[in-house]
Structure 1
Amino acid sequence: MGCTHQDRVLIAGNGQAGVQLADSLRAEGFSGDLILVGEEQALPYQRPPLSKDYLAAGGAAPAPLPLRGENFFTDHRVHHRTGVGVTGIDRDGHTVSLSDGSVLVYSKLVLATGAANRNLSCPGAELAGIHGLRTLADARAVHARLDAVRSVVVVGAGFIGLEFASAARARGIEVTVLEYAGRPMARALSPAMSEWFAAAHREMGTDLRLGEGIASFTGDDGGQVTAAVSTTGAAYPADLVLAGIGVIPRTELAEAAGLAVDNGIAVDAHLRTADEDIYALGDCASYPQAHAGARMRLESVQNATDQARHLAKTLLGTHGPGDAGYAELPWFWSTQGKLKLQIAGLSAPGDETVLRGDPEAGKFSVFCFRDRVLAAVESVNQPGDHLAARRLLAAGRSLAPEQAADPEFDLKAWSKAVPVG
C-alpha cells in the first residue's frame, strides 16, 4: 500500500540517494511529512568531483558542487536536519534516535547511509599525512596539502586512487601507485581494458607498481609520514598518502535493529528490508540485481539515483500493474585525466572480449560477451558506443561478436532499430 498525505517518510542519509529520494517523492505527489537527516553540516554535494576537478584545481579550494540549490529544501517542504545522524531504530515504536538526543517518529524509514572508507591497518597507518577521500572534509584536507607536496603515494589502483593520481600528476606532483593485484581496476574492468589503463597511467608519468601492496609507513620525529614501504621491501618517498582501498557499507544501524545484512543492508527487489516499513538504497544496500542474476551492492551515482526514483514510486504505489521491482541497467564512469571511461552492464571473468576502435588514439571500446550474448561494454572517449550499449543492454538486445569487431557495422543504427518479432 502506498503512502498517504498523513504519512511521514524519514530518510537517514543526505547523499545522492537520500536527496534524490526526497526530490522524487515530491515530484510523484507525496504531500506528507518528509524528513532528511545527514551527519555533515555542509549542503549536500556531489561526491565524484572531489577526486577529480576539486583536487586538480590549484590555489584556494573550489566550492563543492551542490546536489540541489539552497532553496530546494524549503521550496519542497523537506525538513532537512544537518550535522546529526541517526543512532538507533526502534522498530516497534516506529521511532529513530538522533545523535543530538532527539527522537523522531516515522511511518516509513529509508536507510540511505552510504558507505565509509576502508582504513589502512598496517604499521604507521596512524601517521599524519595519510588520508582517505570520500567526504568534503577529506577533499579539503588533501587539497590544502597539495601545493606543498612533491611526492605522493596512492595505495590502491581503483577508480578513486587513479582519479586522484591523474589529478596529482596534472599538478606536477610525483606519484607512485601501489596495487596488490596484478592489474588496475581489476574488480570493474576486463583484463584488456585494465591493461590499457595501466599503460596509459604510466604514460602520464605515474609510477604504477602492480602486484605490490603496502606493508608499512615511516615518519619523521613530528609524526608526519615520509615514506611508504611496500610488500617487496622497497620504500617510496611520500609527503602525502592517499588510501583508496575501497569502502565498507554502513550497515550498523540495520544490524543493531535486527535487520539482515549481506554485504550491505539486504533488501528485496522493491528495496524493502524484512521490516515492511523500512527500506534501504544506494551504496549501503544489497539487492537482487536483475542483469547479473545475483544479489549485489553497487557503488555508483546512477544506481543511487535510479533506485531513489524507483523507490519513490514504490512508496506511493504509482508504478502501475506488473511492477517486478528495480531492474535498471547498471552503468558507471570514471574520469582520469583526459580519459573518460564509461561502462554499461556488468562484465565477469571469462567473458569473450572484442575490441572496437583505436586504442592507440585513446578512442575505443571493449565489448564483453557471455555465451556470445552482450553482457557489458567498456568505452574510452567513445560516448556514442556507450549510449548504444546502454540502449541495447537495457532492452535485452545483443549483437554478434563479429558485428562488434566490424568497423563498418553501424552500431548506433543497430541500437535504435526496432526488434523483430
Structure 2
Amino acid sequence: MSFIFTANRSKRGSPVIGMPCPSVYLGTVFFLLMRSIVIIGNGIAGITAAREIRKRSDDSLTVISSETDHFFSRTALMYVYMGQLEPHHLKPYEDWFWPKNRINLLRAHVEKINFDQKTLFLSGSSAGEELSYDVLILALGSTPNPLGLPGEQLAGVQGLYGLPDLARMQADTVGVREAVVVGGGLIGIELCEMLLSKGIRPTFVVREKSYWNSVLPDEESALVTNHIREHHVDLRLNTELTGLIDDGSGRVGQVTTSTGETLPAQFVGISVGVRPNIHFLRHTALETDRGILVNNFLETNLPDVYAIGDCVQHRIPPPGRKPLEQIWYTGRIMGETLAQTLTGTQTAYRPGVFFNSAKFFDIEYQTYGNAPARPDEHPDLQSFYWQHETRKLALRIYFRADTGAVVGMNTLGIRQRQAVWTEWIETEKPIGWIIGHLVDANFDPEFFRRYEPDMAAQFTRQFPQWPVETRPKKRLLFSW
C-alpha cells in the first residue's frame, strides 16, 4: 500500500500517482493501493516505459510479449544473419536485470481486452487465462504489410521484422541460388545486403523510377540507385511482382513481374512497409483509425489506457511530424514521456526536430527537419544541393525562400552532428551563416577530407544573394 498526498490530477480526473512516499501538492489526501501497470509489447517503447516507471515508482510492472521472452534490438537482426553478431548480442540487458528491477516479463498472447472490467484474456501463458490491470499501456508495435498475392504463404516467402523471421531466413536461404527482394524501403536494402553476405545475388524489384524516390529527391535517389547496382544487386525499377509460383514442393520457385518476366527465386524477401499491429482492437470501444488514436499526452479515449510506439496515430501530430511515425527513437521518446505522466509529472509528447538515419551498404544517410522529396513542389522553399564528382557524397540544405532560414537537410556519406543541426533548425539560422559554419557539424573522423570549402564556393556561385558568413579564424595565443 501507498499513502499519496496529492491533488494533481490527470486530464481524465484520476489522481496522478507518484513515488510511494508522502508528497504534498494542494492538500487533498488520497489513500491508494500500489497500481498494477501492464504493458503489452516488449519493444523499445514498452521497455523504455517500464524502465522509466520503475525508476520513479514502486508500482507493479508486467510486460507481456508473445514474440520473445526478452527485449531485443530489431535493428541488429541483419548482423546476426551476416555472422557479425551472435544471437545473445541482440539483448541489451542481461537476464538478471528484469527480476532485479522487479519487472515481470510474461510470455503470452493477448487474445482480448475487456476495457470495462480492466481484464486481459491470455493464451500461451503459465500465469492463467486472465490478468487484471489498473493502468494499461498498449505498445503493440507494427506488422509487415502483405503483398496480397497468391502464393504468399509458400515456404521461402517472408519479411524481416522479428526473431522468428530471422530464424526462418537462416533456414530458408540454405542452398538458395536465386532470390528476389520486393519493395524499395530500408528493410529491402538490408535484405539485399544480407543475401549478398551468403553469396546470393538478389534481384531487387522496386515499383518507383529509382530507389526510395518517394522519400529522397531525384539526385539523392539516383546516387543511391547507382550505388546499389555497384554492389552487384540486379535492381529492376518501375516493376512490381504479380505472382509467386510453387516449385511443386510447397516452396516458391519463380515469380512473375509487371514487365512480363518470370524470374527464378527460391527465396522472396518482402519489404513493402508496415502497419500498426491493432487488428484485434478494431471492434472495441478503443478509438482507432490507421493506428490507436492518442492525444498529446498519449492518452486514448478510454480511462487509464495509453498507447505508445509504432501502433500510435496522433490526433494532432506535433509540429513538423506525421500522424504515424514508426521510427525506433520516437518509440523511446514516447516511453520516456508517458513514464513522466504516470509518475506524477504530466508531460506532453514533444519529439523535437525530425531526424532519421540509415545505411545503404557503405553510404551513411542522415536527414533532419523538413526535407521534402520534391523540393520544386514547395514554392516557399529553396534547396542547395552539392554532390561530389565520385557520386558517393552529397549534401542538400532546405531554406525559406523569403528569409533564408534553414528548415532541413539531407546528407549522404558525410556524417553530421545531430545536436548541431537540431539547434540550427530550431533557432532558424540563415543559410549563409550555416554554409560558413558547416565544419562545426561535420562528424567524420580526423584526417577525413573536408569538403566544406567546395560547398561554400558552389553555394556562392548558385546563390549570390545570400552572402556566406565565414567562421572567424582562431587567434594564436603566442606569435614567434
Aligning the two structures, in what range does the TM-score lie when normalised by the shorter sequence? 0.7 to 0.9
* 2:64 is the counterpart of 1:40: no
Q: Which among 293, 316, 328 is matched to residue 352 of structure 2?
A: 328
**Structure 1 pair 408/250, CA: closer, same or farther in 2 (3 Å)?**
closer
- Whichever residue aligns with residue 225 of structure 1, its letter is V
**Structure 1 pair 144/357, CA: closer, same or farther in 2 (3 Å)?**
same
What are the Cα deviations for residues 246-278 of structure 1, in whole angstroms up to 9, with x where unaligned? Answer: 112112344333222132111011111111311
* 2:45 is the counterpart of 1:13: no
After TM superposition, give the deviation of residue 184 of structure 1 in Å: 2.0
Q: Calculate percent identity across the aligned residue pairs.
A: 24
Q: In the alignment, is the contact (CA less than 8 A) between 1:270 and 1:326 conserved in 2?
A: no
Instruction: Give the stretch that moved more between structures: 11-20 or 337-346.
Output: 337-346
For residue 91 of structure 2, what is the aligned residue in structure 1? 66
**Structure 1 pair 276/55, CA: closer, same or farther in 2 (3 Å)?**
same
- Whichever residue aligns with residue 112 of structure 2, its letter is G
Greater relative contact order structure (CA < 8 Å, 6+ sep): 1
Q: How far apart are the structure 2 equivalents of 1:79 and 1:190?
A: 46
* 2:414 is the counterpart of 1:382: yes
**TM-score if structure 1 supplies the norm length?**
0.88
* 2:105 is the counterpart of 1:75: no
Q: How far apart are the structure 2 equivalents of 1:358 and 1:185?
A: 20
What are the Cα deviations for residues 93-112 of structure 1, in whole angstroms up to 9, with x where unaligned? Answer: 12222224522221211100
What are the Cα deviations for residues 31-86 of structure 1, in whole angstroms up to 9, with x where unaligned? Answer: 11111100123422110111x3123228x97445114221121111011101x122
Q: How far apart are the structure 2 equivalents of 1:187 and 1:317?
A: 42
* 2:79 is the counterpart of 1:53: yes
After TM superposition, give the deviation of residue 161 of structure 1 in Å: 0.4
Q: How far apart are the structure 2 equivalents of 1:402 and 1:366?
A: 14
How many residues are treated as equivalent by the alignment?
A: 404
**TM-score if structure 2 supplies the norm length?**
0.77
**Structure 1 pair 183/403, CA: closer, same or farther in 2 (3 Å)?**
farther
Q: In the alignment, is the contact (CA less than 8 A) between 1:89 and 1:253 conserved in 2?
A: no
Q: How far apart are the structure 1 equivalents of 2:255 and 2:400?
A: 41
For residue 299 of structure 1, what is the aligned residue in structure 2? 326
- Whichever residue aligns with residue 3 of structure 1, its letter is I
Unaligned runs of 5+ in 2: 1-8, 10-15, 21-33, 376-381, 443-468, 470-480
Q: How far apart are the structure 1 equivalents of 2:400 and 2:149?
A: 39
For residue 85 of structure 1, what is the aligned residue in structure 2? 109
Q: In the alignment, is the contact (CA less than 8 A) between 1:129 and 1:224 conserved in 2?
A: yes
Q: Which among 222, 246, 251 is matched to residue 195 of structure 1?
A: 222
**Structure 1 pair 163/391, CA: closer, same or farther in 2 (3 Å)?**
farther
- Whichever residue aligns with residue 348 of structure 1, its letter is P
CA RMSD of aligned residues (A): 2.6
For residue 291 of structure 2, what is the aligned residue in structure 1? 264
For residue 167 of structure 1, what is the aligned residue in structure 2? 194
Q: How far apart are the structure 2 equivalents of 1:256 and 1:370?
A: 45
Q: How far apart are the structure 1 equivalents of 2:278 and 2:299?
A: 15
Question: Where do 1:217-366 residues align within 5 Å?
Answer: 217-287=244-314, 288-292=316-320, 295-318=322-345, 323-351=347-375, 352-356=382-386, 358=388, 360=390, 362-366=392-396
**Structure 1 pair 142/330, CA: closer, same or farther in 2 (3 Å)?**
same
Q: How far apart are the structure 2 equivalents of 1:212 and 1:106?
A: 49
